[in-house]
Amino acid sequence: MFWKKANGTSVPASASPSNSEDAALDTVANLLKAFGENAFDTDNVSAHETRAECDGWAQKITVGGGKSADSEQAAGKPFKRDFAGVRRYFTAQRSHEREFVGRSLGNLREAVHAFARCLTTTVGEDRAADERVGAQLGKLVGAFQSNDSEAIRSEAEGIVLVVQEVIAKRTESQKRMLGELSQKITDLRDELQEVREKAALDPLTQLFNRAALDAHLDRVADLAFLLSSSPCILMIDVDHFKNCNDSYGHAAGDEVLRRVADGLVRIFLRREDFVARYGGEEFVVVIPDSSLHNAELRAERVLQALSELEIETGKGKIRITVSIGLASLASGDTGGSWLARADAALYEAKGAGRNCVRVARESASAVASISPPRSIIPASRSLSAGRHGRTDAE
């Protein structure tokens, strides 16, 4: 496609993109990112790998990337967007996912078919055995009618042997079929449990995901007043995360998120504590029963511990800080309103310069502050990112 200038000459679209082309590129990039964010593990491709591939293609389509693009731009050649490559990748990935889901459904169908086969075989064998016993009984009745004592004795012994044999075979068959069915059910149960666990976990950090968090918050809020407990939540955001991806690459950014997740799990070791990835660079910790003072102390431990992390990369070490919004469950709170108050407190912490805690006491407007000791503020370069559209200045 060519776009016409005012003087009638034409230039390649890559040299002078129109607003509609920009919108189309943004749409393609957003579709790729959405596809990556909702990826799932298959037999040979992890969700993390799919997300990285989609992010890479989105970058190539919008701003260019890779050695070939760099060499072309260095030579003064116009940048060409590899739409055909995107289409091939997307088609191949969706085809692979469809085959994987098809195989998984096939396993479920096979378990159902195995159950049906067991029933059918049992009924068929029982019918054949019943016919055999009936035939032997007919012979015994015939012997009685003949009044031949030897024939009666012989046929009576015969029916005893037939019944014993049928019972033995039926018992053996039932044991075998029950064993096969039990194994199928065990395999299916394990597979369903694995799928259920994967559905509740974030593939990158192996923490609980947003859906699991939302359900847990509602349960805690519903039970808190009945149990007279005082739960608290921490909403944690990695400061300046965008700079990590821009300066060190997405792989380094993923490693930062994994290290933060590991650090949170080590701090919140109690079985009842619930640690989840909220999305992006944000994490949420639900403390089911704690005074606000103790929750503040644990928030300070988070500031201290995560500020001491050092993540090695090929471009140097990364040091991070976090901002935290803390909220205790207030009277009348739902899971959603409780989380919203913690989010408002986190927003206050970001606005106060980051690397600190803000506490929402009874409402989003009642916010107290905790700042970390000066000694825990890293002197080295920190990271950057906006939260859900917020700029670094926020």
Average pLDDT per block of 10 residues along the chain, 394 residues long: 40 53 83 83 80 85 61 58 83 82 66 54 62 72 68 71 76 76 68 63 91 90 82 95 89 94 93 92 93 93 94 90 95 91 95 94 52 37 35 36
Strands 282-287 and 232-238: antiparallel
* Catalytic entry in 53, 155, 255, 281: 281
Q: List, in order of start, the domains of the chain with CATH numbers.
A: 2-81 (no CATH), 104-200 (1.10.287), 210-384 (3.30.70.270)
Residue 365's alpha-carbon distances to 12, 153, 343, in angstroms, are: 54, 99, 12
pTM listed for this prediction: 0.51
Per-residue burial over 382-393, b = 16 or more CB atoms within 10 Å of its CB, e = otherwise: bbbbbbeeeeee
Catalytic residue check, 281: yes
